[in-house]
Amino acid sequence: MARIILFGGHGKVALLAEPLFTRQGDSVTAVIRNPGHADEVRATGATPLVADIERLDTAELATLIEGHDAVVWSAGAGGGNPERTRAVDQDAAIRTMDAARQSGVKRYVMVSYFGSSPQHGVDPGNPFWQYAEAKAAADEYLRASGLDHTILGPSTLTLEPARGIDTAAEKSATVSREAVAQVIVATLADDSTIGRTIRFNDGDAPIAEAIHTAG
């Protein structure tokens, strides 16, 4: 049984991943900001933990993370506010990486996006630019952190049922949130994914097989 702490525990992907973890016997601490979401999280089998990750410092985050086996970052500011995007998608994410190291938790899975890169190519005049900058910075920090990391790069998210995935595509298309949830769970079960960035669209390959052979 793995003990997982999942940041962004009330997100659409997280709510799909949590029952997958708990059904296989893992325990999930789902970090949420709004206490009103606790019952919905609890219904997945996860344990809700109310905390404002924007305000917690590294030591406080380390206290939350301590005792777990893995960190999953699936939190996000949701766009619309450049300052909050940087505060959550970059700064808070980076603090959880430092906190994971402080607490001795080596395994870290980052849910990023398909095009994340320091050379993301998004025009500074585009409202998406701040998000692209924040995610690129967080991903690069994670790569250099010394943690046993995996960065997941799903393409544009949909509400379609999961099929399989395609990890060979060079361009972003679409992928179901259900598939992303399944990829998160499969990634933590496969140590060959450590140190890798896995970008993926919807496809026909079985998920466990596709992530094992990706890249």
Q: Supply the CATH number for residue 130's domain.
A: 3.40.50.720
| pLDDT tier for residue 214 given thresholds of 50, 70 and 90 | confident
Q: Is the pLDDT of residue 80 over 80?
A: no
Domain that holds residue 144: 3-213
| φ, ψ at 202 (rounded to 5°) | -60, 150
- Burial class (CB within 10 angstroms; exposed 0-12, middle 13-18, buried 19+) of 121: exposed
CB 100 within 8 A of CB 106: yes
* Most confident region among 80-89, 116-125, 193-202 by mean pLDDT: 193-202
Six-digit token string for 137: 């910075």
Which pLDDT tens digit goes with each residue over 33-77? 999 999 999 999 999 999 999 999 999 999 999 999 999 999 998
Tell me which of 23-37, 70-84, 140-154 is least confident. 70-84
- At 199 the pLDDT is 97
Average pLDDT, the chain: 96
Q: What is the three-class DSSP state of 154?
A: strand
Q: At what angle do helices 93-103 and 58-65 cross, to 10 degrees?
A: 60
The closest of 58, 64, 69, 78 to 7, measured between CA atoms, is 64
Which pLDDT tens digit goes with each residue over 176-186? 999 999 999 99
Number of domains present in the structure of the chain? 1
Count how many Cα atoms sit within 13 Å of the Cα of residue 163 in the half-sphere of its side chain: 12
| pLDDT tier for residue 79 given thresholds of 50, 70 and 90 | confident
The closest of 175, 64, 57, 49 to 113, measured between CA atoms, is 175
- At 12 the pLDDT is 97
